[in-house]
A and B are shown apart, each in its own frame.
Chain A
Amino acid sequence: MKNLSFSLALLFLLCACNSSDKKTDKNSLAINYVNQDFSEGKEIYNDFCAQCHMPNGKGMPKVIPPLAKSDFLINNREESIKVIKYGLSGEITVNGEHYNSVMEAQGLSNEEIANVMNYITNSWGNKNTSLITEEEVSKVER
């Protein structure tokens, strides 16, 4: 209970801080993270990704690499955005396993890509507090 009031107070402080100062900084990202339920990203995931990567993010053995605790996803932020934005074919190694399948670009908007990246990097044991923005996605080139 104490903890909760403390976080609420902190949150309030940070929000107050943010509204008086429009600069984007680490604090505003942190607030962003705390307030997120990633529901928009989850909806995109269920529509576009879950059929292959599975609702639990585990993929399919030998064919579809996992997203849950995936070293590729965790260590290659820009590359992962690129895969969603432009697609991927050819070999890829994820958690020591080789895959040679194809993922096509899904035709998602930059905002949708940011949302789904934030969902998958914060689900099934993955954690990423430095959230991806639409702007960041827009800068990723082929």
Chain B
Amino acid sequence: MRAQKSIYFLLLLFAFSACAQDKNPINQNNSYEVVVEDLTNPWGFVFLPDNSMLITEKEGKLIHYKNKVKKEIKGLPEIYVRGQGGLLDINIHPNYNENGWIYFSYASPKGEGKGGNTAIMRAKIKNNALVEKELLYKAEPNTTKGQHFGSRIVFDNEGYLYFSVGERGNRDENPQDLKRDGGKIYRLNDDGSIPNDNPFVDSKGAKKAICSYGHRNPQGMELHPDTQEIWTHEHGPKGGDEINIIRKGKNYGWPVITYGKNYSGTSITNETKKEGMEEPLHYWNPSIAPSGMSFISSNKYGDWKGSLLVGSLKFSYLDRCELKDGKVIKEERLLDGIGRVRSIEQGPDGYIYVGVENLGIVKLIRH
């Protein structure tokens, strides 16, 4: 009897450990070259027209990297560094050359109440300091919860600004309520004003900046190079990370429908589909903890062109998702074991650059 029990236990243990890793095959015909050394958590980065880089460190530092020298940009707003919050994503205006606007997201303590919430600011850089700072959006209310700030920033080809705010650890109130911030993708004009064709501008009490809702924690967002659609991925609960294409006014279901479970293993819901809610284009079970996103649109990587790259914080690799007819048909691990992948960008030279925690920014090389 005892032996039987132990065998059962061992089997169970095996099942659990097998579950812990995903089954994506490792592609070893690739490596990397460190481009920017010694970064702790390069949450976001962007290339400027002179090929220099602006890099955010989550702890609240903005770095200008030029000619192999790091210079800290001063004059940042007050940043609420707690849990997953800090200085987050960064991007530049599509007409940066003419206007010099940079856009960044951060956890801000501004406003009433203890804690913080996600904010979007734009500013220009002069003499290594931020000037002409304009707060474009500040999610409310402040909370001391440490999770789910979202924060990726993308411009579409019409110049609209999109950004994500996670549900801030309040899944029961935020994601499904249009009157509340959190668990949403937002859409603004480049100056922070609300476009008059936003989906909820006429809904009473709704936050007018909302573009889509029912999200959990989107930390990846990118414009598809061909279709020009906004693609996102988000951290789901255990086993429910998702890729979605964002469409105006749509509900992406969290926490009503999900493939995931609570971290403890208990059930959230049995439903993965429901009328009026969007199902993911792809989901990961087990969760890979996705952060950073980029499409390969250059010709530098042969037949990887058209692939979607997603960083895995949890399993420390770069996930190459091969797409066909808008679906993920194959995944494989690049840079396996490199560290927690936080951010990904295709550089102006067509190469893929990857921000890795406790390592730096590296260039992906295919052999």
Q: Which residues of A line the B interface, CB within 8 A?
A: 46-48, 50-51, 54-55, 60-63, 89-90, 100-102, 104-108
CB nearest neighbor in B for A108: B82
Q: Which of A60, A100, A108 contacts B358 (CB 8 A)?
A: A100
Q: How far is the CA of A60 from the CA of B40 in the complex (A)?
A: 19
Interface residues of B in 117-174 (CB under 8 A from A): 145-147, 169
B263 close to A107 (CB less than 8 A): no
CB nearest neighbor in A for B85: A107
What residues of chain B lie closer than 8 Å to A89, measured between beta carbons? 40, 358
CB distance from A70 to the nearest CB of B (A): 18
What residues of chain B lie closer than 8 Å to A55, measured between beta carbons? 263-265
CB of B337 within 8 A of chain A? yes
What residues of chain B lie closer than 8 Å to A60, measured between beta carbons? 20, 314-315
CB of B59 within 8 A of chain A? yes
Per-position contact with A for B20-59: 1 when CB-CB < 8 Å, else 0? Answer: 1000000000000000000011000000000000000011
Q: How far is the CA of A26 from the CA of B169 in the complex (A)?
A: 38
CB of B289 within 8 A of chain A? yes
Q: Which of B58, B147, B169 contacts A104 (CB 8 A)?
A: B58
What residues of chain A lie closer than 8 Å to B58, measured between beta carbons? 104
Interface centre among B58, B145, B340 (most CB of A within 10 A): B340
CB of B316 within 8 A of chain A? yes
Q: Which of A47, A62, A63, A101 contacts B147 (CB 8 A)?
A: A47
Q: Which of B82, B264, B316 contacts A107 (CB 8 A)?
A: B82
CB distance from B108 to the nearest CB of A (A): 13
CB of B365 within 8 A of chain A? no
B146 close to A106 (CB less than 8 A): yes
Q: A54-B263, A60-B20 are in contact. List 9 more A-B contacts (CB 8 A).
A: A47-B147, A47-B169, A48-B83, A51-B289, A55-B263, A60-B314, A101-B339, A102-B357, A107-B85
What residues of chain B lie closer than 8 Å to A100, measured between beta carbons? 358
What residues of chain A lie closer than 8 Å to B59, measured between beta carbons? 104-105
A-B CB pair tally, cutoff 8 Å: 57
What residues of chain A lie closer than 8 Å to B145, measured between beta carbons? 47
CB distance from B338 to the nearest CB of A (A): 11
CB nearest neighbor in A for B86: A104
What residues of chain A lie closer than 8 Å to B340, measured between beta carbons? 63, 101-102
6 closest cross-chain pairs (CB), A and B: A107-B82, A102-B358, A48-B146, A47-B146, A55-B263, A107-B81
A106 close to B358 (CB less than 8 A): no
Q: How far is the CA of A104 from the CA of B314 in the complex (A)?
A: 16
Count B interface residues, CB 8 Å: 27
CB of B80 within 8 A of chain A? yes
What residues of chain B lie closer than 8 Å to A105, measured between beta carbons? 59, 81
A62 close to B337 (CB less than 8 A): yes
Q: How far is the CA of A22 from the CA of B193 in the complex (A)?
A: 60
Q: How far is the CA of A47 from the CA of B357 in the complex (A)?
A: 21
CB nearest neighbor in B for A48: B146
CB distance from B79 to the nearest CB of A (A): 10
Can you list 18 contacts pairing A with B, beta carbon distance less than 8 Å? A46-B263, A47-B145, A47-B169, A51-B289, A55-B263, A55-B265, A62-B316, A63-B315, A63-B340, A89-B358, A101-B340, A102-B41, A102-B340, A104-B41, A105-B59, A107-B80, A107-B146, A108-B82
What residues of chain A lie closer than 8 Å to B263, measured between beta carbons? 46, 50-51, 54-55
Per-position contact with A for B234-271: 1 when CB-CB < 8 Å, else 0? Answer: 00000000000000000000000000000111000000
CB distance from A59 to the nearest CB of B (A): 11
What residues of chain A lie closer than 8 Å to B315, measured between beta carbons? 60, 63
Q: How far is the CA of A48 from the CA of B82 in the complex (A)?
A: 9
CB distance from A109 to the nearest CB of B (A): 9
Per-position contact with A for B103-120: 1 when CB-CB < 8 Å, else 0? Answer: 000000000000000000
Q: How far is the CA of A89 from the CA of B83 in the complex (A)?
A: 16
B146 close to A101 (CB less than 8 A): no
Per-position contact with A for B65-97: 1 when CB-CB < 8 Å, else 0? Answer: 000000000000000111101100000000000
What residues of chain A lie closer than 8 Å to B337, measured between beta carbons? 62
Interface residues of B in 335-367 (CB under 8 A from A): 337, 339-340, 357-358
Q: How far is the CA of A11 from the CA of B145 in the complex (A)?
A: 35
Q: How far is the CA of A24 from the CA of B26 in the complex (A)?
A: 58
CB distance from B261 to the nearest CB of A (A): 11
Interface centre among A89, A105, A106, A107 (most CB of B within 10 A): A107
Q: How far is the CA of A62 from the CA of B357 in the complex (A)?
A: 14
